[in-house]
Amino acid sequence: MAGRNFLFVPGPTNVPERVQQAMVVSMEDHRSPKVPELTHAVIEGLKPVFKTTTATPIIFPSTGTGGWESALTNTLSPGDKVLASRFGQFSLLWIDMCERLGLEVEVVDAEWGEGVPVEKYQEILEADTDHTIKAVLATHNETATGVTSDIGGVRAAMDAADHPALLFVDAVSSIGSIDFRQDEWGVDIAVTGSQKGLMLPAGLGIVSVSEKALAAREGSKFPRCFFDYGDMIKANGTGYFPYTPSLPMLYGLREALAIMEEEGLENVFRRHHYLASGVRAAVMEGWGLQICAKAPKWYSDTVTAIMVPEGIDGAKVIDRAFRRYNLALGAGLNKVAGKLFRIGHLGDLNECMLLGALGGAEMAMQDVGIQITPGSGVAAAESYWRANEAEGAPA
Ligand SMILES: *Cc1c(COP(=O)(O)O)cnc(C)c1O
């Protein structure tokens, strides 16, 4: 197929040219004297992205899912109770992992399209006067439904209940794209992966671990080896890793962090909000369709889940977009399979790239029988972007 593939799934995201170039290197000795400088640069460089000065970033050759597992097995013990809420495929899978590891999960189900029910969390934590709940889990950005939760609110609920549980946050599709404040929100372990806001290929599971979480490690009775924080921190202290790291990925990460620093993290967040607002205008004002997120407070700046009209299979839109227009859109997962398709708008992205995705989605939707006015989404997004400024974007 001529021309380039338009990648608009919410991860993996487009890898910037500079990052691709940084990764094209000959293989080298991972124990050479030049490695500690790289190790130090990426670990220190991650701290501002998590907005932490006190936590310890750890990089595993893994993915976000490995990061989840590391958080649970380094701090808890089999049979421990955790509080979690389920409102999409990713929050669902983290709960499934907890159960499979032998944790007892107090599950709070919320509607798919809503986020962490903060008031309910507070009620449960206030009632847990014996402090049997050892950890509170929250998915910051539910990628399956395009919903962002209020993590500052979760912290406030825990404080209001005066509850000492650890706070673990899945920030896989928010870190580096949506404001995340580990220290301010008292997040004990924040989990991300390389292939979303960090603009790299998949292959790294990255966590940032608070001192409190590291202290909890002492009492943890889960068996662990590959994902042991102690082994990793000890080796990182000398500038190395306990096993063979992917140096090309670390070079790529160093370059991605440099790109983010050059743009300015706050400008990165503003750009994501501005681009996402244009996409939402296309969907709701242009096409007259609904998004999965139930209210503006849940709207995600990294992914929009577009509800297809009753009687239409969302999977057909995705299939048509890919086969005919070389455009990759995100699928509806689990409960929302067939009911929606998703446009990822995170990472290395600008207006014109998104217009391509919106135009392609428009053609594919019409092809499968969805009644929309041709060009209406593109026009609404253009109007939004022309009338607004992503602060820090070139004038
Ligand atoms: C992508 C994603 C994951 C899973 O990460 P993998 O890297 O595929 O293991 C977990 N949570 C959220 C919110 C995600 O978007």
Q: Which domains does the chain have, with CATH numbers?
A: 17-261 (3.40.640.10), 264-387 (3.90.1150.10)
**Phi, psi for residue 89 in degrees, rounded to 5:** -65, -35
Contact predicate 380/282, CB 8 Å: yes
203 lines ligand 1 (CB under 6 A): no
145 lines ligand 1 (CB under 6 A): no
Residue 74 exposed, middle or buried by CB count within 10 Å (0-12, 13-18, 19+): buried
Which pair of tokens denotes residue 33? 């004297």
Q: What is the pLDDT of residues 144-187, one digit of tens each?
A: 999 999 999 999 999 999 999 999 999 999 999 999 999 999 99
63 lines ligand 1 (CB under 6 A): yes
Determine the Cα–Cα distance for residues 190 and 180; give it in Å rounded to an integer.
Answer: 9
Residue-averaged pLDDT of the chain: 97
For residue 194, give the ligand 1 atom closest to its CA. 7
DSSP letter, residue 298: G
| Bridging pattern class, strands 6-8 and 56-61 | unpaired
Report how far apart, in Å, the C-alpha atoms of 394 and of each of 126, 196, 263, 353 are.
49, 24, 11, 16
Report how far apart, in Å, the C-alpha atoms of 45 and of each of 56, 119, 237, 250 are.
11, 35, 15, 11
pLDDT at 374: 97
Contact predicate 343/332, CB 8 Å: no
- What is this structure's pTM? 0.97
Q: What is the pLDDT of residues 177-223, one digit of tens each?
A: 999 999 999 999 999 999 999 999 999 999 999 999 999 999 999 99
Residue nearest to atom 2 of ligand 1 (CA): 172
Which pair of tokens denotes residue 47? 């701290």
Residue in 63, 70, 92, 204 to alter for ligand 1 test, most ligand atoms within 8 A of Cβ: 63
Contact predicate 227/377, CB 8 Å: no
13 lines ligand 1 (CB under 6 A): no
pLDDT at 395: 46
